[in-house]
C-alpha cells in the first residue's frame, strides 16, 4: 500500500510538471507566489466588514492584513504581469486586440466537441489567462487607489471600493475556473499515461 501511495505521489508530481512544462522557472515561482497570495487575500476578505461609509478608525486587524497584503500583492502582480507579457506578447494573451480570432474560434469548437484544446498562442487558455491578469490588475489597482483615497478623505473612495469588490468577484471566478481547467488537463494527462 505504501509503495502504491509513493507511485501515486510521484505520478501527481509528474502531472504538475506537465501542467507547468512550458513556463520558465521564474514564472513558475511567481505563479505559485501569486496563487498563494490571492488565496490569502480571498481568505482575509471573508473576515472584512469594510463598506463605502467605513471610517479609518473602524478598520480591524483582519482589514489591515487584507489591505497591506493587497498593497504587497500590487507590486508582485505588476511584476508578474510584466514577466508574462514579456514572454507571451499581447497578441498571445489578447488576440482580439490584433483582430485575430482564428485560434480562439478553433479552441472553442474543440471545447464544444467535448475535448480540451491544447494551450496555444492566441487560444482559449491564453485569452483566459490574459483576462485573469487584467482582473488581478484591476483588483490591486482599485484596492490601492481606495487605500490612498480613504486615507486622504477623497470623495471617490466608496466608488473605488465598489469597483474593487466587483473586480474581486472576477478574480474569484477566474481563480476557480483556472483551477478547474488545470484539474481537467491533469485528469486528461493522467488518463493518457495509464
> Could you list the pLDDT tens digit for every one of the 194 residues in the chain?
677 778 877 877 787 777 777 788 999 899 999 999 999 999 999 999 899 888 888 999 999 999 999 999 999 999 999 999 999 889 999 999 999 999 999 999 999 999 989 888 899 989 999 999 999 999 999 999 999 999 999 999 999 999 999 999 999 999 998 888 888 888 888 888 87
Query: By the 8 A CB rule, do 107 and 117 touch?
Result: yes
Q: Is 54 exposed, middle or buried (0-12, 13-18, 19+ CB in 10 A)?
A: middle
pTM: 0.85
172's enclosing H/E stretch is helix 157-193
Give the model confidence (pLDDT) of 154-186 as tens digits: 999 999 999 999 999 999 999 998 888 888 888
106 SS3 class: helix
Compute the distance between CA of residue 101 and CA of residue 76 in angstroms, rounded to an integer: 30
CB count in 10 Å sphere of residue 40: 16
CB count in 10 Å sphere of residue 41: 21
Among residues 179, 153, 176, 147, the alpha carbon closest in space to that of 63 is found at 147
Tracing cell 501527481 back to the chain, one arrives at: 12
Amino acid at each position: 500500500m505504501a509503495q502504491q501511495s509513493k507511485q501515486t505521489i510521484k505520478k501527481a508530481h509528474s502531472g504538475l510538471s506537465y501542467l507547468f512544462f512550458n513556463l520558465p522557472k521564474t514564472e513558475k515561482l511567481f505563479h505559485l507566489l501569486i496563487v498563494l497570495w490571492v488565496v490569502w487575500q480571498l481568505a482575509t476578505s471573508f473576515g472584512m466588514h469594510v463598506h463605502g461609509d467605513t471610517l479609518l478608525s473602524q478598520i480591524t486587524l483582519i482589514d489591515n492584513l487584507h489591505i497591506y497584503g493587497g498593497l504587497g500583492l500590487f507590486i508582485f502582480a505588476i511584476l508578474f504581469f510584466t514577466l508574462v507579457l514579456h514572454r507571451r506578447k499581447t497578441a498571445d494573451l489578447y488576440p482580439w486586440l490584433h483582430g485575430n480570432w482564428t485560434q480562439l474560434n478553433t479552441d472553442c469548437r474543440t471545447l464544444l466537441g467535448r475535448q480540451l484544446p491544447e494551450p496555444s498562442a492566441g487560444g482559449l487558455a491564453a485569452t483566459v489567462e490574459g483576462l485573469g491578469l487584467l482582473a488581478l490588475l484591476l483588483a490591486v489597482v482599485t484596492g490601492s487607489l481606495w487605500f490612498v483615497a480613504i486615507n486622504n478623505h477623497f470623495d471617490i473612495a466608496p466608488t473605488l471600493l465598489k469597483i474593487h469588490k466587483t473586480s474581486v468577484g472576477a478574480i474569484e471566478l477566474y481563480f476557480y475556473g483556472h483551477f478547474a481547467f488545470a484539474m481537467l488537463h491533469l485528469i486528461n494527462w493522467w488518463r493518457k499515461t495509464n
